[in-house]
A and B are shown apart, each in its own frame.
Chain A
């Protein structure tokens, strides 16, 4: 007798569009970012000078790309702790490729980096889906293994900016309409992945898998294939980040990327992605990444003791999880009551 509205999006009778806009998951983290920038600019106007803004965008680029990739994996209720090691391998690989073949077309180097990242992501994905092992454990082990491979391959060898073509390095300097080229790449990535997750069948399936993978399997979703896709996507994006790292920074070697993984997870969590999957958006993860990288620069610009920085990041993460939890509880309550009233 009850009309089931379970599958229809909850519009809610009489709710203004403004209210539903405000309730979007990305709002808390975006407003935090806005507040941070405004406060810092008031204290130090140099923060939004053209160089300052360029620096902010450049700093955030690599973290944004990685957060988008890792966010996709987290949405499926998995995690990939090996992203730092993957970045290191691809960055060093990029340096090696340029050192071995200095005239190689830059596009080809990008493709090599993406392919290497995809391969490493696929290994993780296979282990998680075929061997049915929890991703936390697998990717923790792969973190060690990939780092060991990086150390064995690189040894004491480091490649510096001078070993790479100037045109490659200029990707991090030149701008398009005031936005650095590599940041444009990052924005394109965010848009593409966001559209993939929200508008395509395989993308939406990822949310279903994250919510309840047994139900998804019963529903007919090819869970293993989708999860593998998510890991490969994450690996590819991390590979892209690795190539851009080699463009932006000076040296690539054995220790590149060590310790990045928890920063990226933090960015995704702060951006509203639930650690259990099933909700959140990569746009939020991207904003979370921007927020965390901006805090570093903001504290320096404010001359705040840099020692407070990590503590502030910790508080931000806890706040973000709290906000996400409150939001999901209220959503659950609203869905329950809307079902009851519609029954």
Chain B
């Protein structure tokens, strides 16, 4: 386990990020409905921008997403720097 710990950490963070960003599956299946129950932040962004023409609001939501993802990104870089290699 210690040998693959760094890989596991990296993969865990990446999978979290990809799940956060999984726009297309949700959009294709339910479009975030019924009544936004299956919507995630990135769906809100898209629907507000291109369906309700509410660009300002959706840009604000994407800034929130950006901040959240920055935290993930920081964790990711930290995980990368902690990498231990055994020769």
| Physical interaction between A and B | no
Q: Tell me the A residues contacting B by CB distance below 8 Å.
A: none
